[in-house]
A and B are shown apart, each in its own frame.
Chain A
């Protein structure tokens, strides 16, 4: 009897061990990335251009950063780490940066990347890109010391230099010099970079096709955020413009697309229940805002701006815009809680006041007598319209008269450049790791929020290199943001995307990194 049980238990143990072994190898197999396949990504529309130096449009960054690369990129905590650069040294009391480039990095046309390409590309970026122009004000000169060395001479120290060079949106990507020379300030005609995927074709309204770049020179470090080793597992990526959100959702459900972006947040429960589909929440995606016109009209009066800010109750505004509570957050920070190095509550007592009495009093002090506040918004982004609609109600309850003008996006972005054409416009401020480049506080951006103290703190923060001091300065800027009512922040929003179950290695990031992503079919 005892023998039988001993044999039995031995057999059982063996069986268990075998089973465990099988399971381990199955998991290992499952987690073993495989090469091959075509990833079809359903995008919200067409990229307006494929020249990243000339646009801040997010969709252009999402597509082209697989083709072009920057000198630096972000790690998983959104700090700058080298990408095309091997190392750098700082001299002349922080005013000279010497970059050693990685050797053996090839462009898609077979040419090796050298300092000449970097100098040509960075100079063009400094001339054309919106963050580049801001950044280049502090650049004295740039020089190619030898084929692998670039020296950047600054007028003043900079705490944001590497972060600026790492920025993906409207980023300082490196093109071959001859392409930069041929294009000048006009759009580049060939789309060549050093990235893990190369450009194949753009058939408008059909797709942008990228294919694996076989000679890609990957970094040796383990993947970390957007940096480290980038592997092109996929044979091809097709970015397909699918403007209808219902079709993007249906397509990922049927498997026609492996990825669909910007789904409606109120569809979250449906997406969760779909077999074969995994919902992805991009957290944070950005914050929604009403931008006030400081230059001209009613909102040039600080008291009216303060009344606007005091009247609002953000919870219903955000709920109307995003439906599901999993997709918004009421928080005063100009940077997000996901960026602990920057997130701040400064001035928070002035956010989400719901103080009708104070609003009324301020309007009275400003002798506001019912002049219409022209607010331009759009239904092309439903949340902008819904945010505005609820805010309009709340503002009218305290005595404002709101003239809500609903136009298409192209009209909105044109009108907002004309100070005489509006008092308020709707928009979203997308996630940005480096406050020195924040649109939310920029003075030369529509709304023209220029404030002497704020500009000084922003300039000081751009110069300062000590992270602790920089954070303290950002706190000051946020305090002024609320006291002076730079813009009116409604709340943080997250976006909903969906991928098929057989897509692996996915990073839930708004920038859409598709290297290191593989298909498990």
Chain B
């Protein structure tokens, strides 16, 4: 097990290298540059060139790439062009809202999705099943930014229950943070819950057709025990996989919702970095998110051991 984990962690390195290179090359090949953004719309070409030189962006691309590798080896993601601070610090500053938002949204998606999937499977092909699945279809189809804007209209403008946008950091009190995250978390979570519900339902249906379920029922187990103790546990592997993926999707999907709700998280960081071509920040955030994806995948794989004792890693 330990060697397996060590091997998986080692495998992160080449992936990180590829991601770092691709992020660098793609961003620098894309048109646009930070110097013209700093100089503003009325600036002349000479002014833009001067700023570009100050930023070290006039060096040839391969040279810049080598510099970027050199810094990476030392664990340095570089200095943000616009934020006047190291990229690592900028990322750490933004982790709190994104992480809380993602956790909250995952919680909502699991709390809504898993029971909906189980109920649908249990009442397979009945009106209940159809209602849940139509709701799930609608949920999957609504873009989360639209849901977010509808929430703002309904719960902020009409009812006045929540602030329209913005984030209150934990240091100002947990309740305030929670309040500022309710609408964005639901906007994110509802869409994901629909996905989870569909996966839970289909894997539950598979399991419910297995012989051990028939055997359980035959020996007189209560239906509740059959469903929750035996069937659900066996349906957990695809479910955990989808929850893991969905957590990763939520972290990166938070980009849009953070923009709508004005939450200063990783998503906002990367959007403003892309719009202003803040290269070091884009590369740093992409690298971090890729690393996070790989870690979540590893955790999901490891969790299989818990749900299915037959799974062994060597």
Which among A48, A187, A417, A446 is the interface contact of B37 at CB below 8 angstroms? A48
Task: Compute how far the CA of A430 lies from the CA of B41 in the bound complex, rounded to whole angstroms.
Answer: 10
Q: Which residue of B lies closest to A432 (CB)?
A: B42
In contact, B276 and A410 (Cβ under 8 angstroms): yes
Residues of B close to A240: CB separation below 8 A: 166, 262
In contact, B277 and A55 (Cβ under 8 angstroms): no
Residues of A close to B34: CB separation below 8 A: 410
Which among B50, B82, B153, B277 is the interface contact of A204 at CB below 8 angstroms? B82
Task: Compute how far the CA of A410 lies from the CA of B33 in the bound complex, rounded to whole angstroms.
Answer: 7
Size category of the binding interface on chain B: 35 or more
In contact, B164 and A407 (Cβ under 8 angstroms): no
In contact, A205 and B268 (Cβ under 8 angstroms): yes
In contact, B48 and A246 (Cβ under 8 angstroms): no
In contact, B42 and A48 (Cβ under 8 angstroms): no
Task: Compute how far the CA of A247 lies from the CA of B36 in the bound complex, rounded to whole angstroms.
Answer: 28
A408 interface residue (CB < 8 Å to B): yes
A27 interface residue (CB < 8 Å to B): no
In contact, B41 and A247 (Cβ under 8 angstroms): no
B275 interface residue (CB < 8 Å to A): yes
Q: Which residue of A lies closest to B263 (CB)?
A: A205
Which among B43, B165, B167, B271 is the interface contact of A256 at CB below 8 angstroms? B165
In contact, A48 and B269 (Cβ under 8 angstroms): no
Residues of A close to B44: CB separation below 8 A: 130, 133, 442, 444-445
In contact, A251 and B164 (Cβ under 8 angstroms): yes
Task: Compute how far the CA of A439 lies from the CA of B42 in the bound complex, rounded to whole angstroms.
Answer: 7
Task: Compute how far the CA of A445 lies from the CA of B82 in the bound complex, rounded to whole angstroms.
Answer: 24
Residues of A close to B54: CB separation below 8 A: 185-186
The proximity string for B residues 254-293 relative to A, scoring 1 for CB distances below 8 Å and 0 otherwise, is 0000011110100011011001110000000000000000
Residues of B close to A442: CB separation below 8 A: 44
In contact, A56 and B43 (Cβ under 8 angstroms): yes
Residues of B close to A186: CB separation below 8 A: 54
A330 interface residue (CB < 8 Å to B): no
Which among B37, B46, B153, B167 is the interface contact of A410 at CB below 8 angstroms? B37
- Shortest CB-to-CB span from B279 to chain A, Å, is 12
B62 interface residue (CB < 8 Å to A): no
In contact, B262 and A130 (Cβ under 8 angstroms): no
**Chain B at the A interface: SS class:** helix
B182 interface residue (CB < 8 Å to A): no
A-B residue pair count with CB separations less than 8 angstroms: 142
- Shortest CB-to-CB span from A354 to chain B, Å, is 29
Given A407-B31, A414-B32: A170 and B42 within 8 A (CB)? yes
Selecting from B66-74, B155-163, B223-231, the interface stretch reads: B155-163
Given A251-B164, A251-B165, A444-B45: A55 and B156 within 8 A (CB)? no
A9 interface residue (CB < 8 Å to B): no
In contact, A256 and B163 (Cβ under 8 angstroms): yes
In contact, B164 and A54 (Cβ under 8 angstroms): no
Task: Compute how far the CA of A55 lies from the CA of B43 in the bound complex, rounded to whole angstroms.
Answer: 7
- Shortest CB-to-CB span from B156 to chain A, Å, is 5
Residues of A close to B90: CB separation below 8 A: 204
Q: Give the number of residues in A that approach B within 8 Å (Cβ atoms).
A: 51
- Shortest CB-to-CB span from A223 to chain B, Å, is 28
A242 interface residue (CB < 8 Å to B): yes
Q: Which residue of B lies closest to A428 (CB)?
A: B41
Best-buried of B46, B164, B271, B277 by chain A (most CB within 10 Å): B164
The proximity string for A residues 415-430 relative to B, scoring 1 for CB distances below 8 Å and 0 otherwise, is 1010000000001001
- Shortest CB-to-CB span from A61 to chain B, Å, is 9
- Shortest CB-to-CB span from B182 to chain A, Å, is 15
In contact, B31 and A415 (Cβ under 8 angstroms): yes
Given A48-B276, A205-B268, A205-B272: A247 and B42 within 8 A (CB)? no
Find residues 381-434 in chain A having any chain B CB closer than 8 Å to their own CB: 407-411, 413-415, 417, 427, 430
Residues of B close to A55: CB separation below 8 A: 38-40, 43
- Shortest CB-to-CB span from B219 to chain A, Å, is 58
The proximity string for A residues 224-254 relative to B, scoring 1 for CB distances below 8 Å and 0 otherwise, is 0000000000000000111110110011011
B149 interface residue (CB < 8 Å to A): yes
Residues of B close to A411: CB separation below 8 A: 30-32
Residues of A close to B271: CB separation below 8 A: 243
Task: Compute how far the CA of A244 lies from the CA of B262 in the bound complex, rounded to whole angstroms.
Answer: 8
The proximity string for B residues 75-119 relative to A, scoring 1 for CB distances below 8 Å and 0 otherwise, is 000000011100000100010000000000000000000000000
Task: Compute how far the CA of A185 lies from the CA of B38 in the bound complex, rounded to whole angstroms.
Answer: 14
Task: Compute how far the CA of A142 lies from the CA of B172 in the bound complex, rounded to whole angstroms.
Answer: 51
In contact, B37 and A247 (Cβ under 8 angstroms): no
Residues of B close to A254: CB separation below 8 A: 156-157, 160, 163-164
In contact, A247 and B165 (Cβ under 8 angstroms): yes
Find residues 16-52 in chain B having any chain A CB closer than 8 Å to their own CB: 30-34, 36-48, 50-51
Find residues 131-189 in chain B having any chain A CB closer than 8 Å to their own CB: 149, 152-153, 156-157, 160, 163-167
- Shortest CB-to-CB span from B172 to chain A, Å, is 12
List 19 other contacts, CB 8 Å, given A46-B272, A204-B269: A49-B82, A55-B38, A55-B43, A56-B42, A57-B40, A58-B41, A130-B42, A133-B44, A185-B54, A205-B272, A247-B165, A250-B153, A254-B160, A256-B156, A410-B34, A410-B277, A414-B31, A414-B36, A417-B36
In the assembled complex, 24 residue pairs joining A and B whose CB atoms fall closer than 8 Å, in A order, are A46-B276, A48-B276, A55-B38, A58-B40, A130-B44, A133-B47, A170-B42, A189-B84, A204-B264, A205-B94, A205-B264, A205-B269, A244-B165, A250-B164, A250-B165, A254-B156, A256-B163, A407-B32, A409-B275, A413-B36, A415-B31, A442-B44, A444-B46, A446-B45
Across chains A and B, which 7 residue pairs bring their CB atoms closest together, nearest first? A56-B40, A410-B32, A57-B40, A56-B42, A205-B264, A413-B36, A411-B32
Where the two chains meet, the residues of B that have a C-beta atom closer than 8 Å to any C-beta of A are 30-34, 36-48, 50-51, 54, 82-84, 90, 94, 149, 152-153, 156-157, 160, 163-167, 259-262, 264, 268-269, 271-272, 275-277
